Structure 1
Amino acid sequence: MNILVISNNYPSPAYPARGVFVYNLIQQFCKLGHKVTVISPRKLKMSSFRKGKSYGVENCEVYRPSFFSVSSLQLGSFNTYRIAELGQIKGVQKTVKKNNIQFDVVYTHFMINGIIAVSALKEYGKPIFCAIGESDLVSFTKRYPKKYFDQSISGLNGFIAVSNKLKGQLMSYGIPEKKIFMKPNAVDLQRFYRRDKGDMRKKFGFPNELKLVAFVGRFMPHKGPLRVLEAVEKLDNVGVLFIGSGPQDPKGESVVFKGSVPSFEIPELLSAADVFVLPTQKEGSCNAIAEAIACGLPIVSSNIPEVKDQCHPSFSILVDPMDVNALKVAIHSVISDNQKCLEMSKNALDYAKNFEIGDRALSILNFIEARMKDKTALSK
């Protein structure tokens, strides 16, 4: 197939870490023999000069039209995001026409891009599919007038939801269950696998005498880095690797590492740890959790539906993400019992086979092709 991908969350030389999980999936589409063209609209301020870095081998033709944005502010019944949306719609239209892009199907990532594609490409009459990976759709839909939102999603021919929570929300908007394929996010097991712990600690200069907790994600309140730090500070001989960045700033003697790293270093840092901890309050389908599982780490995370979709009790302990004492108890129960830790690690590695990105890409394309072959399904 000729697949046109619309996603404003896709890496570039200027922003190599942006949308890496989208990039990884789309590259798998290419490896499966499909011709893929990506249109990734970017804000004007992102178009200014910035020293670039390689974000990996690119097997697609990628276009990055610019658009003007004034953020997302609610002014009465009007949300200023609609200005940016119009700019992206026009950018997609101009790019397709100028470059005479030929496509059989449109794959969009995140609902905003699905809505953009419906408006920008309706004249072509091609089926449009949308991957839903937001942590929540309810708050997102408030930026649109209800009639416009309902009309837009009715123009989408199928949805890939990364959690049962999101599948349920789609159905609450009147989307038939047969139009929804639920498949959690996945990882490239050729890149994310367990390295020798001792070797990785030596490489990064981490002490061998400490038990190490790994946190990966934005340093935001809903992700909970400061709750992790508070829990660990109540334990003896435990340090934390804070991998990421954000407005919150975990500080203290327990912080062994803090900062953003290239994507290839994340599995190495995870392999240096004993347990992965993420007390998140909301997710779509958490890539960081999938990556930690692939590296064989026991998981301590949140007792919320979207995390339950990813974690099996054989390698995870799920608690109230706001309960610091429960986090402390869960972490201690893993790191204080070497045999338990080893068993959870083995179970995580076995379970990681369910998160292979090539299999996920193939199953998504099979769903799309099945919908496309059923002409009556595309009209419903």
Structure 2
Amino acid sequence: MKILVVSNNYPSLKNPSRGVFVYNLIQQFCKLGHEVSIISSENILTSKRKKVETYGIENCTVYRPKVVSASNMQIGSFNTYKVAELSQIKGIKRIVKKHNLKFDFVYAHFMMNGISAVNALKSYNKPFFIAIGESDLIRLTKMYPKDYFNQSIKQIRGFVAVSNKLKNQLIGFGIPENSIFMKPNAVDLTRFYQRNKAAMRKKYKLPMDLKLVAFVGRFLPHKGPLRVLEAVQNLNNVGALFMGNGPQEPVGSSVVFKESVPSSKIPEILSAADIFVLPTQREGSCNAIAEAIACGLPVVSSKIPEVMDQCHPSFSILVDPMDVTALESAIGSILSDEERRTEMSRNALEYSKNFEIGERASSILNFVEGMMEE
């Protein structure tokens, strides 16, 4: 099939880490034999960024129309996001017309891109599908006039939701349940797998004599890097690895690694750790958790619906993400029991087979084909 993907959350030479999970999925579409074109709108302000050599092997044809953004602020009944949306709609129309793109259906990643795609391409009379991976759709709807939002989503043939929470929110918007396919995010198990712990610690000059806790994500309050740091500070012989960046920068004697690292290094550094900790307050479907499980790490994370969709008690302990004492207790209970930790690691590796990206890509396309036949 010929697939047109619309997503502004896609890596580029100027922003190689953006939307890596979208990139990985779409590359699988190509590997399954489909012809994929991608329209990934690019904020005109990013043109000043320095380019890298590559963000990975690209099997699709990517078009990058420039858009103007006015952020997302509510001024009376007007939201400034409308400026970016109109610019994106114009760019999508221009690319499809200029390059005479042919497609059997449109696959948009995230609701905002889907709404833009619908209003840019509805005259082509092709089916639209949207992947929903936001942490919350309710807040997003406030950016649009109610009638405009409702009319737009009525034109979507099917939705791929990454959690039951998002599926239920879609049903709340009046979307028929049989038009929604719930499938959590997945990882490439040929890249994310368990390496030798000692070898990875030696490679990255990490201490051999400490138990290591890994955190991957933006250093933002809702992700909880400082709560992780606070939870490990009172534990003996425990260090923390922080992979990411952001305003809540963890600092202290317990921090043994802190760096924004390319995706190629994440599985190696995860393999150097003993457990993975992420006290997040909200997610769509957490790629970092799926990656940690694939590397055989026991997980301490949040007792929230979207994380519960990903984690099984056989390899995880889920707690109130704001309760640092509960975090500390959960981390300590796993690190102090080597036999339990080993068993949880085995269970994580086995469970990760349910989140293989090739299988996810095939399942999504089977859902799309089924909806198109109906």
Superposition TM-score tier, normalisation by shorter sequence: over 0.9
Distance 2:249 2:241 in 1: 13
One-letter identity of the residue aligned with 1:301: S
Kindly indicate whether residue 324 of structure 2 is the aligned counterpart of residue 324 of structure 1: yes
Distance 1:205 1:249 in 2: 21
Q: Deviations over 1:91-143 (max 9, x none)?
A: 00000000000000100000001100110000100000000000000111101
Q: Which residue of the partner structure matches residue 377 of structure 1? A: none
Q: Which residue of the partner structure matches residue 184 of structure 1? A: 184
Kindly indicate whether residue 276 of structure 2 is the aligned counterpart of residue 285 of structure 1: no
Q: Deviations over 1:178-207 (max 9, x none)?
A: 000000000000000000000000001111
Kindly indicate whether residue 222 of structure 2 is the aligned counterpart of residue 218 of structure 1: no
One-letter identity of the residue aligned with 2:176: P
Q: Which residue of the partner structure matches residue 136 of structure 2? A: 136
TM (norm. structure 2) is: 0.99
Kindly indicate whether residue 56 of structure 2 is the aligned counterpart of residue 56 of structure 1: yes
Which one is further off, 43-52 or 291-300? 43-52
Q: Which residue of the partner structure matches residue 378 of structure 1? A: none
Q: Which residue of the partner structure matches residue 296 of structure 2? A: 296
Once the two structures are TM-superposed, the CA of residue 52 in structure 1 deviates from its matched residue by 2.3
Distance 1:91 1:36 in 2: 18
Distance 2:132 2:200 in 1: 35
One-letter identity of the residue aligned with 1:106: V
One-letter identity of the residue aligned with 2:358: G
Once the two structures are TM-superposed, the CA of residue 49 in structure 1 deviates from its matched residue by 5.0
SS state of the match for residue 264, structure 2? helix
SS state of the match for residue 265, structure 2? helix
Distance 1:228 1:49 in 2: 32
One-letter identity of the residue aligned with 1:74: Q
Q: Conserved in 2, the CA contact under 8 Å of 1:47 and 1:66?
A: no
Distance 2:332 2:323 in 1: 14
One-letter identity of the residue aligned with 2:221: P
Q: Which residue of the partner structure matches residue 147 of structure 2? A: 147
One-letter identity of the residue aligned with 2:282: K
Distance 1:329 1:354 in 2: 29
Q: Conserved in 2, the CA contact under 8 Å of 1:5 and 1:36?
A: yes
Q: Which residue of the partner structure matches residue 103 of structure 1? A: 103
**Count, aligned residues:** 374
Q: Which residue of the partner structure matches residue 205 of structure 1? A: 205
Q: Which residue of the partner structure matches residue 14 of structure 1? A: 14
The two structures, once aligned, show a CA RMSD in angstroms of 0.6
Mapping of 1:12-51 within 5 angstroms? 12-48=12-48, 50-51=50-51
Once the two structures are TM-superposed, the CA of residue 50 in structure 1 deviates from its matched residue by 1.9
Q: Which residue of the partner structure matches residue 351 of structure 1? A: 351
Which one is further off, 51-60 or 17-26? 51-60
Runs of 4+ in 1 over 6 A off after TM superposition: none
SS state of the match for residue 222, structure 1? coil
Distance 2:122 2:306 in 1: 33
Q: Name stretches of at least 5 consecutive residues in structure 1 with no aligned partner.
A: 375-380
Distance 1:162 1:81 in 2: 25
Once the two structures are TM-superposed, the CA of residue 48 in structure 1 deviates from its matched residue by 3.1
Q: Deviations over 1:43-66 (max 9, x none)?
A: 110123522231110000000000
Q: Deviations over 1:336-374 (max 9, x none)?
A: 000000000000000010000000000000000000011
One-letter identity of the residue aligned with 2:212: L
Distance 2:114 2:185 in 1: 18
SS state of the match for residue 137, structure 2? coil
SS state of the match for residue 18, structure 2? coil
Kindly indicate whether residue 9 of structure 2 is the aligned counterpart of residue 2 of structure 1: no
One-letter identity of the residue aligned with 1:200: M
Q: Which residue of the partner structure matches residue 360 of structure 2? A: 360
SS state of the match for residue 156, structure 1? coil
Distance 1:337 1:141 in 2: 46
Kindly indicate whether residue 72 of structure 2 is the aligned counterpart of residue 69 of structure 1: no
SS state of the match for residue 280, structure 1? coil
Q: Deviations over 1:285-342 (max 9, x none)?
A: 0000000000000000000000000000000000000000000000001000000000
Once the two structures are TM-superposed, the CA of residue 234 in structure 1 deviates from its matched residue by 1.2
Q: Conserved in 2, the CA contact under 8 Å of 1:43 and 1:67?
A: yes
One-letter identity of the residue aligned with 1:30: C
Q: Conserved in 2, the CA contact under 8 Å of 1:136 and 1:284?
A: yes
Which one is further off, 51-60 or 139-148? 51-60
One-letter identity of the residue aligned with 1:337: D
TM (norm. structure 1) is: 0.98
